[in-house]
Chain A
């Protein structure tokens, strides 16, 4: 059984006064196996973020269904949603979404605190993560005192500390320079190699080339997909670029 299954998902937004309907996703189906690192690519406005919001149960699909480990996400009652998100999913956002009111350490521990875990558990979970993400020296600092790359690594630590079934990342390199981006993506590969299932939305071919599979979305549908297989990252990058060109040309023809 696939870890995540997306079947014929559709999402239509209605404008405020209900006069206009905007179709963000028309018919999206795909699945993610355990241990995979999937990147979803598409131009802005193609429905990437909408899809991620649906996966994260931050929004409800208009049609179709999303299954996480055989459980229907849209069927989870409102009262359990927050706990579901907290216990099963990890998030990394483009703008980090760290809280200025917390130190780096407290930002990372936040999900565990919400799970009401013991202080001992928290420290035990924090130590290896901060080591791996090399943010050990920053723990007592505050978000506005550290660089963008460090902030994003903090966000990754926060996402991973609950040992989520799947890590969802929304343009994680979007606010980083190329050096910090490279470092972060290398980290993502490492984490994935340790068995973490990951799903990332991005429009950067560079970032996507670190994934094991890339899905292309266009006009609310899955347009194509590429497997990295045995190719090197550079080769995979070139392939992605080619597909993107086709994607754009196709857009012009249509």
Chain B
């Protein structure tokens, strides 16, 4: 009987507060749906059987972690907001004679209700839209695979458990809140006055330092590998900096503006500055969150779209030729080539641009023109520029080089031809120093060079003897796949694919190393498609959260502002001035986070391009374009929200 009463009160509460609870529920449902979807796709049987399916699953797994963390933060933020708004109501219950444990019980029921709704609707959506999502995944991966697309019980269970844990923590947190607060405190709610605190200066300085450090790191990183390592450091620094500067820096600046009397006491600035000060004190954290979320959305969407759309270009960059094989001896090479020719004939594929050559490749550490092997370089690994000095050295004979490149170069004894991203005067390998002659025109790229990650170093030597002499001593893994062949293919797309599959499956019992661009393309699209899918999904989630926060800010501020603007009009502010003030204020709420987010994106570009280089994406303007296109779209969405908000505000202000 009694239990039923509290349950009824709980449900009635949610209904009464639907203006705030509804968006919260929608967000919770969407997050449930997203988490479930990622898990369902990642564990799909059809996917795991696919070539490259594992990398896609790994990307989705990463996405799941991000969504999980994000959900935790978001639900807590939203909850604190809801509780803050409802403190008055809870205080009233307390004064009407309800004990704290009863209030706690009501809150528990409410949370349980939200949890159940999230699960039922979120998982229901997942079951309904599962097939549609799989179709999108297929589209993103550009391949025809059979994905089951049925409801996944295990994914639903994982989702249910994760959210149960989150809501459980929420319930404990709310109980503590209720138990530690006195009714009077609850009644007063969020009404706390302005407290002058000296820590603002400290916070401002901390903010400036962390923000500066974050930007500095992002600009100074020169190598993709260190970029990945420092990426999270920079992100955390910038996030801390953003919060500190929004919370303390903004107020410090506004205070300084207020101190300058001739500036402050003018009709244009008076109301705006004081209004902003008041608002910043309460909402700086919210604005900072909006800023961070916008940045995240822009970076995520910008990079994943770049990666996905740049796949073809990256593929060509990595693998200049359709097929690349390297062998330990000529015999194996010839056997494979024979097989290849037959396979080509069978599949109506023409082989072209064929070339074969002798080359030796190794990853080395290059310091002042001296080549070190990995054991020597190990002690330097802690140096900041370690990765900057790593090179993929490729040594070829002059004979091979001239043939493949169609050139007619000559070499004197003790001379080597070198093409390198760094200026070298001499080259020392195995303690022998060679004179360097630079190759001015970049040579045709032959192999799948990893030059995107490490710098390039092509060395052309006079003859085989010199080449053998140059083999790096004391390496752990001896690369003796020196007989290389490359060729391109022409023919119908499906013929080329059939040929590629046949080539990939037939090993002929040979020892060889091979790269097959057609198969790689599939694999890459799997992975990049995964990133693309997850990126867009996450981007939308981030934007949704942003919209949610802005919505809540407007609700909480709308009525407060209404009172203020009515007073302003009563004491003789014209409607026009009031409108202008409203415009300025709302514009700040929308524009400030967005502007700073764009700054963050611009600041992150250098680092992001370095990281994307790991994937072989070199097209920096393209990445920038995508990021700013995203920014533009977000700005347009914000613009629409701004117009709507401003309109609602005018209505509120009319009296």
Beta-carbon contacts under 8 Å, B251-276 to A: 261-262, 265-267, 270, 274-275
The reply to whether B261 and A97 form a contact with Cβ atoms under 8 Å apart is no
> Which of B193, B266, B275 touches A113 (beta carbons < 8 Å)?
B266
> How far is the CB of A153 from the nearest CB of chain B, in Å?
16
Most chain A beta carbons < 10 A, residue from B278, B572, B574: B572
Is A101 touching B572 in the complex (CB atoms < 8 A)?
Answer: no
In A46-61, the 8 Å CB interface with B consists of 56, 58
The interface bits of chain B over 568-583 (1 if a CB of A lies within 8 angstroms of the residue's CB, else 0) are: 1111111111000000
Return chain A residues, CB-CB under 8 Å to B572: 82-83, 85-87, 89, 111, 114
Please state if B262 and A119 are interface contacts (CB–CB under 8 Å). yes
Query: CA–CA, A204 to B453, complex, Å?
Result: 85
B564 and A99 form a contact (CB under 8 A): yes
User: A82-B575, A142-B193, A144-B191 are known contacts. Are A97 and B267 too (CB-CB below 8 A)?
Assistant: no
Contact across chains for A97 and B570 when beta carbons are under 8 A apart: yes
- In the complex, the number of residue pairs spanning A and B with C-beta atoms less than 8 Å apart equals 69
Residues of A within 8 A of B575 (CB): 78, 82
Q: Decide: A93 near B564, CB < 8 A? Known: A82-B575, A113-B265, A122-B265.
A: no
Name A101's contact: one of B191, B564, B574, B577 (CB within 8 Å): B564
* Contacting residues, chain B, for A99 (C-beta < 8 A): 274, 564, 567-568
Given contacts A83-B574, A114-B572, A144-B191, contact A100 B278 (CB under 8 A): yes
Interface residues on A, range: 20 to 34
In the complex, which of the residues A78, A101, A102, A113 contacts B267, with contact meaning CB atoms closer than 8 Å?
A113
**A43 at interface, CB cutoff 8 A:** no
Q: Which residues B547-589 have CB closer than 8 A to chain A?
A: 564, 567-577
Q: Would you call A81 an interface residue if the criterion is a C-beta within 8 Å of the partner chain's C-beta atoms?
A: yes
Bound Cα distance from A89 to B569, whole angstroms? 13
Q: How far is the CA of A87 from the CA of B267 in the complex (A)?
A: 15
Q: A110-B270, A113-B266, A116-B266 are in contact. Are A93 and B275 (CB under 8 A)?
A: no
Contact pattern, A 57-81, Cβ under 8 Å of B = 1, otherwise 0:
0100000000000000000001101
A236 at the interface (CB under 8 A from B): no
A110 to B577, CA, bound (A): 13
**Assembly CA distance A116 to B270 (angstroms):** 10
Task: Identify B193's interface contact among A81, A109, A110, A144, CB under 8 A.
Answer: A144
Residue of B nearest to A85 (CB): B572
Please give the distance in Å from A45's CB to the nearest CB on chain B.
Answer: 20
Q: Which residues of B contact A85 (CB under 8 A)?
A: 571-572
Supposing A109-B265, A116-B266 touch, asked if A81 and B574 sit within 8 A by C-beta, the answer is yes
Q: Are B278 and A101 in contact, CB atoms less than 8 angstroms apart?
A: yes
Given A99-B567, A109-B265, A142-B193, A82–B278 Cβ distance below 8 Å? no
Nearest A residue (CB) for B574: A82
Set B194, B265, B274: member contacting A119, Cβ < 8 A: B265
Q: Is B293 an interface residue (CB 8 A)?
A: no
Interface of B is mostly: helix
A144 to B281, CA, bound (A): 15
Q: In the complex the two chains form, is B278's CB within 8 Å of A91's CB?
A: no
Contacts of A109 in B (CB 8 A): 265
Main secondary structure of the interface of A (DSSP, over half): helix
**B277 in the interface, Cβ–Cβ < 8 Å?**
yes
Q: Is the CB of A213 closer than 8 A to any CB of chain B? A: no
Contact of B270 among A93, A113, A158 (CB under 8 A): A113
CA distance A139 to B585 in the complex (A): 26
Which B residue sits closest to A145, measured CB to CB? B193
A106 at the interface (CB under 8 A from B): yes
List A contacts of B267 (CB < 8 A): 113-114, 116
Residues from chain A with a CB closer than 8 A to the CB of B265 are 109, 113, 119, 122
Complex contacts, A91 vs chain B, CB 8 Å: 570-571
In the complex, the answer to whether A82 meets B577 with C-beta atoms within 8 Å is yes
Tell me the chain A residues, 121-161 only, with Cβ under 8 Å from chain B: 122, 142, 144-145, 158
Q: Bound state CA distance, A110 and B266, in angstroms?
A: 10
A58 — which chain B residues lie within 8 A by C-beta? 570
| Residue interface bits B301-315, CB-to-A below 8 A is 1, else 0 | 000000000000000
- B160: min CB distance to chain A, Å: 45
Select the residue from A97, A106, A110 with max chain B CB neighbours within 10 A: A110
Q: Report the minimal beta-carbon distance from A199 to chain B, rounded to whole angstroms.
A: 16
Residues of A within 8 A of B576 (CB): 79
Most-contacted residue by chain A among B265, B570, B571 (CB, 10 A)? B571
A38 → chain B closest CB, angstroms: 21
CB proximity of B284 to chain A, nearest CB, Å: 15
State how many angstroms separate the Cβ of A226 from the closest Cβ of chain B: 30
Q: Are B194 and A142 in contact (CB under 8 A)?
A: yes
Q: Are A86 and B193 in contact (CB under 8 A)?
A: no
Instruction: Give the shortest distance, in Å, between A97 (CB) and chain B (any CB).
Output: 4
For A78, the chain B residues whose CB sits under 8 A away are 575
Report the Cα distance A114→B575, complex, angstroms: 13
A124 to chain B, nearest CB (A): 13
How far, in whole Å, are A78 and B275 apart by their CA atoms in the complex?
A: 26
Q: Measured between alpha carbons, how far is A16 from B473 in the docked complex, in Å?
A: 94
Q: Are B274 and A86 interface neighbours, CB within 8 A? A: no
The residues of B that contact A116 with a CB separation of less than 8 Å are 266-267
- Chain B residues lying within 8 Å of A102, measured Cβ to Cβ, are 274
Which residue on chain A has the smallest CB distance to residue B275?
Answer: A101
Given A119-B265, A142-B194, A110:B571 Cβ within 8 A:
yes
Q: Is B570 within 8 A of A93, CB to CB?
A: yes
Chain A residues within 8 Å of B193, by CB = 142, 144-145
14 extra A-B contacts, CB within 8 A, seeds A82-B572, A144-B193: A56-B570, A78-B575, A79-B574, A82-B575, A82-B577, A89-B572, A91-B571, A93-B570, A97-B567, A102-B274, A106-B270, A106-B274, A114-B571, A116-B266
Q: Give 23 CB contacts A-B under 8 Å.
A: A58-B570, A79-B576, A85-B571, A91-B570, A97-B567, A99-B564, A99-B567, A101-B274, A101-B277, A102-B274, A106-B270, A106-B274, A110-B270, A111-B571, A113-B266, A113-B267, A113-B270, A114-B270, A114-B577, A142-B194, A144-B193, A145-B193, A158-B571
Residues of B within 8 A of A (CB): 191, 193-194, 261-262, 265-267, 270, 274-275, 277-278, 564, 567-577
Closest 5 CB pairs of A and B: A86-B572, A82-B574, A101-B278, A97-B567, A101-B274
